Amino acid sequence: MAVPKLLYFDFILMVSAFLRADGYYYSRWSQCIYSSRDLSDMVYIDSHAFNKAVFSEYNSTLGKYVGYTEYGVRNAEFWNNNTNLLQQEKADVDRFCKHNAELYLSSIHDKTVKPKIRLSSVKQAGGKHPAVLMCSAYEFYPEKIKVSWLRDGKEMTTDVTSTEELADGDWYYQIHSHLEYTPQTGEKISCMVEHASSTQPIITDWDPSFPEPERNKIAIGASGLVLGIIIAAAGLIYYKKKSTGRILVPH
């Protein structure tokens, strides 16, 4: 299943100087909202606010300003009578929104990084099931992703909890999903990840043959054994080289 692309631009255009020490201020910002790749559903909103409360805004769908307060209504009526201003706002849909959206899509949004998947068993603090699995997806881009659980190929919808997509602070994201379940002989539990970086779902099967702590111990033990063999071999070679240079004198 393809993950829909959705981009929400929020460009701060102007923030006025504070009028008084108690923090009265006026601000204006422009928003470009769309969900289609061809930008055909682009909506441009130009908002005016006082102390973070919007009092009037231009909406390209309506083609005019709308007021939300008494002061905002008066401003909207005044601006709607300015033909040049309305034409300029209408032109900003292409000049400002679509232009910047194309730049964003070509340089950032259309770039994808495939997630790294890790499936592990975690300790359960409590619950009605004896086992808990965690499926983690790391270092993926863009943000939108779907993580689901399969039991013998069928999606499980109960006893599943997931985090939101978490930003790593370096353009990448991570997400974690937990499954509480009761193990059964011969079953296959899988984590399925759907992301824009892959045309097919990424399915990772859980291997219950070794608990994760035991697998870690085996890996550490095997590494230590190999390292020991290497050190022993190096010592033996060194000893033989030293021995060949000696001359034995009988007493």
Give the dihedral sign, CA 85/88/92/94.
Answer: positive
Residues 6+ apart with CB under 8 A from 27: 12, 14, 15, 16, 48, 49, 50, 52
Torsion of CA 55, 60, 65, 68, to 10 degrees: -30
139 with 168: CB under 8 angstroms? Answer: yes
Distance in angstroms (rounded) separating the CA atoms of residues 61 and 68: 17
How does pLDDT run across 121-167, given as a tens digit for each residue?
887 656 677 889 999 999 999 889 999 999 999 999 888 999 999 99
Give the amino acid at 188: K
According to CATH, what is the number of the domain 7-109? 3.10.320.10
- Does domain 116-205 bear CATH number 2.60.40.10? yes
In which residue ranges of the chain is CATH 2.60.40.10 found?
116-205
Is the pLDDT confidence value at 210 over 60? no
How does pLDDT run across 211-226, given as a tens digit for each residue?
555 445 444 555 555 5
In which residue ranges of the chain is CATH 3.10.320.10 found?
7-109
178 with 160: CB under 8 angstroms? Answer: yes
The confidence score (pLDDT) of residue 214 equals 47
Residues 6+ apart with CB under 8 A from 248: none
Q: How confident is the model at residue 182 (pLDDT cuts 50, 70, 90)?
A: confident
